[in-house]
Structure 1
């Protein structure tokens, strides 16, 4: 087990490494991918994120309306960084008391298709080869009726949170461990909680209870990270990189 600064049996690392060892013993490699949401500009937080990533693949879900040339320039020479389409304006259209959604059942399909198309063209033109045709709906939420629109726009798949939604007729590459406690002050969720999410998904894949070829997805939001978020992210990147039966991969559109 790598010697991590915060690793001990009480924080979930032991179970996490035991699961990776089980993949190794089975002659298999556990794959991971990393999605970071809400990137629009070059900021100190983005620089810190990219420094932690080093050469491993990281996918920035960027808000098309607000994406800047500065962001495009910041990642232009980093082939390990891709850009995904994060909605259009990250605007909530849900009625009061309903869960937030930009592409939910509350809007006409033609309006959502216009936003999808406008956002796709903007990111494609701004980021060029860094843009990957994966749609990330804000708040990880979209109406079933949106899925058939994606290929019409040029989007090849989508990414939300949790297990694959088999009812939606579009390829998915989801995330499974969000490190932010959104209901608890937007602070770090905690090592044990995040590692349990990752370990449980890895175990489900290994046992055949989840798609083995669906990489286990880390979800971060660099603009709201506290110190504990940064420490954990760095430790996890090191842990996965160093383990012989684990690897980071770029998502497949």
Structure 2
């Protein structure tokens, strides 16, 4: 505790003592005029002004332990303030000036108790500005450097379960030569017209696609009931 703190606390204590003495005398006079016993009138100021001090200390203890001020302490503080003001004003002569002067000791005592019991709040810590200190420039941060790697993408179950469609090979169309060859094989003694009709082609097409140009085929018109073999 430095000298400034000791001096301020001593000055506040002196003000509280003077104001307390004046308030004590006013309350004593009011109690004596009201017909109280001398001993009661002597200790009544201590009960009223002391109640203010007790309530203030109780509220400070709650604040120190991070609790809400108890209701009894707040009620005691309000009652002590009203009682000491009423007693000090009642002791004065019935005029405005006298009553204002009589209220000064009570108010001074209340403020002195608050100064002695409470402490100021600490100032916020001020950090030095970044522009006042030369700092090395840092390269800009690329957010992609800190991005989490993306794993393999798993397709949905519906896509994995589906089987690829397989196209059936279309049957190869039979050529005219194959048709003529098959018809000729089925009708070895058939005429050119019969082979063409069996293969479903014209006679010229059948003649062109016969298996062998030297293969004898029956003539279209038989002679005397016997087919005439002609070369295709």
Give the number of the structure whose residues are more often helix, by fraction. 2
Q: TM-score normalised to the size of structure 1? A: 0.21
Give the number of the structure whose residues are more often strand, by fraction. 1
Structure with more contact order per residue of length (Cα contacts < 8 Å, sep ≥ 6):
1
Which has the greater radius of gyration?
2
